[in-house]
């Protein structure tokens, strides 16, 4: 069986991604109404960038306090918190890039 996460990687991405999406949806619903989140581009872009910020800070935190690894061949002081074999700290820039790709796609589509 292949594990797609290691350490706290899955928890950080699930908590960070889901909570940032729920927070952005809640804020836009309260401020602008029910259909605003689904009909506008910027809340989804904000969600991706908020997730990227959460993952960057969580990855930096986990890098300073790495999860203990039982493998003897693991590099010292490297974080063992991964999701899909990518360290958590790299998920931040991935989500920042996904936000930019989403904006470019949305602007060229309309």
* pLDDT value at residue 97: 94
Asked if 85 and 41 touch (Cβ cutoff 8 Å), the reply is no
Please give the angle made by the CA atoms of 12, 70 and 1, to the nearest 5 degrees.
70
Inside any domain, residue 24: yes
For the chain (110 residues), the mean pLDDT of every run of 10, in chain order, is 66 79 90 87 90 87 70 56 78 91 89
| pTM of the complete model | 0.77
Q: What range defines the domain where residue 55 resides?
A: 5-66+81-109
- The three-class DSSP label of residue 73 is coil
Residue 75 is assigned to a structural domain of this protein: no
The total of structural domains in the chain comes to 1
Residue 74 lies in a domain: no
């Amino acid at each position: 069986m292949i594990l797609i996460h290691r350490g706290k990687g899955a928890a950080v991405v699930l908590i960070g991604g889901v909570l940032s999406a729920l927070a952005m949806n809640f804020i836009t619903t309260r401020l602008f109404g029910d259909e605003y989140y689904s009909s506008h581009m910027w809340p989804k872009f904000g969600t991706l960038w908020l997730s990227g910020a959460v993952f960057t800070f969580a990855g930096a935190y986990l890098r300073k306090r790495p999860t203990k690894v039982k493998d003897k061949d693991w590099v010292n002081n490297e974080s063992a918190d991964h999701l899909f074999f990518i360290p958590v700290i790299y998920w931040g820039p991935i989500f920042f890039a996904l936000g930019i790709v989403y904006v470019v796609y949305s602007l060229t589509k309309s």
